[in-house]
């Protein structure tokens, strides 16, 4: 364990994310009934205690559980994971949670690539079964770089790793992007991700989708002058060249990967998957680390400034994929803006759960507002 201590006041950093008001025992019993219906040939179906994840994630509920049943006279035990759409009353991050689409994405990635994903079991889109749409996957062992406290604040397995181990994790994660982006015919392979947003290019449609997301997110928390300035900046500085369309993981960050020996054992969280230029994934990967670096600097932690730097990630990506990333300043700003919408929504959720008072200005909910301001005001 590291003995790193902050030089500033870090008391305001959250130590847990409040995501749900569901009664877990009621939910467990409903999941047990669903298991019995799914495996009707078996008997004595049982679902153990549901365990949530608190180290990472801001959106869907991820519940770990052990399930058992009798099959041909033998007891079968499986370690499983349920991915569950959030309750609409708990201020979800996104307006829609297409669990069937996420499940289809995982199945397609598993069938077309050697990118490691959790074994998909089944999907139940009908909310009547357990009270919300859900899908079930096999559980994969591994370590996740924690969000709470952020892995780069110290006292995490990644912070304490050697430079060579950190480099192996960085490069192997970028290799995941290269392999996903190499999927041939992404529009045909992932038709459920095409969407119906306006625009004459995939990038135009991607940004239009994020704009629609912002409009939905502000119906409760109030509009953000900063985010609207960000959208205007994107339009004024639109890339002259749009790279070829690929399948994008979407939420391409190391907090969404289970690692074994500093290499991916399972790639998780596909709710932001889409179609667009490959720079979308690369910039998001680097920016989400930069966001934690900004926090580390703010609270007086040393951070990991030599890890996942954008220029290093771009060089590695080009070597692994043969593609040359362009306009990364623009894509970084876009990543920062998207995360600002996440912060706007999760900030409002904190208000909803009584964890903070409602601010007079919605921009006060945006934790990364200084970075977004600097990006859109730079010369």
Catalytic annotation, residues: 251
Query: What is the rounded (10 degree) CA torsion for 180, 182, 183, 184?
Result: 160
Count the Cβ atoms, other than its own, within 10 Å of residue 181: 24
List, as one string, the DSSP characters of 42-107.
SEEEEE---EE--SS-SSSEEEEEEEEEEETTEEEEEEEEEEEPPPGGG--SSS---HHHHHHHHH
Phi (first) and psi of residue 44, to 5 degrees: 55, 50
CA distance 333 to 337: 6
**How many angstroms separate the Cα of 82 from the Cα of each of 35, 93, 265, 326?**
11, 18, 18, 38
Exposed (0-12), middle (13-18) or buried (19+): which is 193, by Cβ within 10 Å? Answer: buried
**Per-residue buried b or exposed e for 295-329, using 16+ beta carbons within 10 Å of the residue's own CB:** bbeebebbbbeebbbbebbbebbeebbebebbbbe
Encoded tokens for 193: 């991700």
Instruction: Collapse the DSSP code of 355 into the 3-class scheme (helix H, G, I; strand E, B; otherwise coil) and give the result.
Output: coil
Cβ-contact 336, 375 below 8 angstroms: yes
CA distance 62 to 76: 23
Instruction: Collapse the DSSP code of 204 into the 3-class scheme (helix H, G, I; strand E, B; otherwise coil) and give the result.
Output: helix
């Amino acid at each position: 364990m590291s003995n790193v201590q902050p030089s500033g006041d870090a008391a305001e950093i959250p130590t847990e994310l409040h995501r749900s008001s569901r009664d877990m025992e009621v939910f467990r019993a409903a999941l047990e009934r669903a298991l019995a219906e799914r495996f009707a040939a078996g008997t004595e179906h049982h679902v153990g205690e549901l365990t949530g994840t608190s180290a990472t994630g801001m959106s869907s509920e991820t519940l770990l559980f052990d399930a058992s049943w009798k099959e041909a006279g033998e007891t079968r035990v499986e370690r499983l994971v349920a991915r569950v759409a959030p309750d609409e009353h708990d201020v979800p991050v996104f307006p829609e949670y297409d669990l069937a689409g996420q499940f289809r994405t995982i199945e397609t990635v598993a069938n077309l690539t050697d990118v490691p994903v959790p074994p998909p079991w089944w999907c139940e889109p009908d909310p009547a079964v357990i009270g919300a749409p859900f899908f079930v996957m096999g559980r994969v062992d591994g370590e996740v770089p924690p969000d709470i406290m952020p892995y780069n604040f110290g006292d995490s397995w990644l912070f304490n790793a050697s430079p060579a181990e950190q480099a192996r994790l960085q490069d192997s994660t970028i290799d995941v992007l290269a392999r996903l982006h190499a999927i041939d015919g992404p529009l045909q392979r992932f038709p459920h991700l095409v969407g119906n947003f306006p625009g004459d290019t995939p990038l135009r449609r991607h940004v239009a989708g994020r704009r629609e997301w912002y409009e939905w997110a502000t119906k409760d928390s109030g509009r953000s002058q900063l985010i609207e300035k960000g959208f205007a900046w994107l339009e004024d500085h639109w890339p002259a060249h749009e790279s070829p369309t690929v399948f994008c993981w979407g939420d391409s960050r190391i907090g969404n990967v289970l690692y074994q020996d500093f290499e991916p054992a399972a790639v998780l969280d596909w709710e932001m998957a889409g179609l667009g230029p490959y720079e979308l994934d690369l910039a998001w990967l680097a920016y989400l680390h930069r966001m934690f670096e900004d926090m580390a600097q703010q609270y007086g932690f040393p951070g990991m400034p030599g890890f996942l730097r954008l220029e290093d990630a771009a060089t590695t990506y080009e070597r692994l994929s043969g593609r040359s990333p362009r306009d990364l300043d623009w894509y970084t700003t876009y990543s920062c803006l998207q995360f600002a919408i996440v912060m706007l929504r999760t900030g409002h959720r904190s208000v909803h759960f009584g964890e903070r008072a409602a601010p007079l200005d919605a921009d006060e909910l945006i934790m990364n507002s200084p970075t977004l301001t600097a990006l859109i005001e730079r010369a």
